Amino acid sequence: MLNEVDVMVNLAATTNFDERYDVALDLNTFGAKFLANFAKKCVKLKVLDHVSTAYVLGEKTGLILENSYSMKKPLMVFQA
């Protein structure tokens, strides 16, 4: 598969907001992380399309535009 996949679409998540924390973390966070790690190994990959819930942006408000991102650049920097 690593030499054949050129498009990946991820929309696997739970939108059950009463879900157990460990189940939601596995599905919504680690699932996307594992997919991204697999995508990095796909030599012919052209597109990785990730669809998320409306709550992914935390406390941002107003119009939020969709942007394309490069897998070579981090989306955000975390500070401790």
Q: Which range of residues forms the domain containing residue 72?
A: 1-55+63-80
DSSP code of residue 79 = -
Q: What percent of the chain has pLDDT over 90?
A: 25
Judged by DSSP in three states, 4 sits in: coil
Q: Is it the case that residue 6 has pLDDT exceeding 80? A: yes
Q: pTM to 2 decimals?
A: 0.61
What is the average per-residue pLDDT within 53-76? Answer: 65
From 67, 42, 71, 70, select the one nearest 57 (Cα to Cα): 67
Q: Kindly state the average pLDDT of the residues 25-52.
A: 88
Structural domain total, the chain: 1
CB half-sphere exposure, 49, CA atoms < 13 A: 5
